[in-house]
Amino acid sequence: MRFPAYAVDVVDGSGAGDAFMAGLLYGVLQGWNIGQSACFANATAAHCIQAIGCSTGVPSAQRVGSFVRERDR
């Protein structure tokens, strides 16, 4: 299985891996399948790398979910 990254402007890669894992674990804890969880994780990391710092760019789960729904139409 492949789950491509979202195309965003990279400002700082710090924290991207941690943000990805946080998003993946969030999805798993929500009872989502691996595909849904991986897409959410990619979106969480995509938000992270758009701001300086490890967590500054990471928004709420609701905002990440909206981003996924908008991009995956």
Query: Which residues are known catalytic residues?
Result: 15-18
Rounded-to-integer distance, Cα 21 and Cα 40, Å? 10
Judge whether 1 and 34 are in contact, CB under 8 Å. yes
29-45 b/e (C-beta count within 10 Å ≥ 16 → b): eeeeeeeebbbbbbbbb
